[in-house]
A = this chain, B = another copy of it.
Amino acid sequence: MGEMTTTRKAVVLLSGGLDSATCLAWARAQGFTCHTLAVDYGQRHRIELDAARRVSAELGAADHRVVTVDLRAIGGSALTAAIAVPKDRSETEIGQGIPVTYVPARNTVFLALALGYAETLASADLVAGMNALDYSGYPDCRPEFVRAFESLARVGTRAGVGGAEYRLHTPLMTLDKAGVIRLGVSLGVDYRLTHSCYDPAPDGAACGGCDACQLRRRGFLAAGLPDPTRYALPARSAR
């Protein structure tokens, strides 16, 4: 990624998935010294946390932290509780409404943790992979939410009260999945390191049918780039 020309620090939220890995590569390319933060929130698949650690190391972050928060104690989602993950939904179905995989206030919780970490680092820059176009309708992935969080950070922190201009950078906000993949590939991201699937096989292979797998598959296809992911099932269109 070349020489660092600044000592500005950024806290980058890493999920282990494709989007946040792209964000980290973007933040490095902007010259930030990156402190990555993964959240262990009781997700059913530990594979994600392993992927986040790998991505952080491979993409040159200065430091990686994992903060544990047991979101199962407040219930409510297929990603943490025993609700079936929907499979083989059409693009139209995926685009409609808010999916059952929604974790209540997840981004609010994760960003609050990133904000606390940024305060201890004297950083006012947060980076997260929210995406308004391609994120299956999560309300906390929209630009209005980003602006509201920046406002909260400015009034709710020592540094903000002292005049620091908190920025929540969301470099993927207006990109479709193909655009994210093109950006990442141009920045040298090896997407084999990342994990997207909501329902992986015991050996770690992606299921190929959940919303996340379908979005990922279509993204590589639309970008005209080879998909390095190992899927347990072929794409529905190929069956």
Map CB proximity to B onto A93-124 as digits: 1 under 8 Å, 0 otherwise. Answer: 00000100011111111011101110110000
Chain B residues near A73 (CB-CB < 8 A): 65-68
Given A70-B69, A152-B149: A117 touches B144 (CB 8 Å cut-off): no
Chain B residues near A153 (CB-CB < 8 A): 108
Chain B residues near A68 (CB-CB < 8 A): 68-70, 73
Query: Cβ of A140 < 8 Å from any Cβ of B?
Result: yes
Bound CA span A98–B157, Å: 10
Query: Cβ of A160 < 8 Å from any Cβ of B?
Result: yes
Query: Cβ of A86 < 8 Å from any Cβ of B?
Result: no
Chain B residues near A112 (CB-CB < 8 A): 105, 108-109, 111-112
Chain B residues near A145 (CB-CB < 8 A): 152, 155-156
How far apart are A114's CB and chain B's nearest CB, in angstroms? 9
Bound CA span A151–B117, Å: 23
Map CB proximity to B onto A45-89 as digits: 1 under 8 Å, 0 otherwise. Answer: 000000000000000000001111111011110000000000000
Q: How many residues of A contact B (CB 8 A)?
A: 45
Chain B residues near A105 (CB-CB < 8 A): 112-113, 115-116, 119, 156-157
A108–B152 touching, CB < 8 Å? yes
B152–A116 touching, CB < 8 Å? no
Query: Cβ of A169 < 8 Å from any Cβ of B?
Result: no
Query: Cβ of A233 < 8 Å from any Cβ of B?
Result: no
B152–A148 touching, CB < 8 Å? yes
Closest 7 CB pairs of A and B: A105-B116, A104-B119, A76-B120, A104-B116, A69-B69, A74-B117, A140-B156
Instruction: List the interface of chain A (C-beta within 8 A of B).
Output: 37, 65-71, 73-76, 98, 102-109, 111-113, 115-117, 119-120, 139-140, 142, 144-145, 148-149, 151-153, 155-158, 160-161
7 pairs, CB–CB < 8 Å, chain A vs chain B: A37-B74, A68-B69, A69-B70, A75-B120, A104-B116, A105-B112, A139-B155
Given contacts A68-B69, A103-B116, 12 further A-B pairs with CB under 8 A are A68-B68, A74-B117, A76-B119, A105-B119, A108-B115, A109-B109, A111-B112, A144-B155, A148-B148, A148-B156, A151-B151, A152-B152
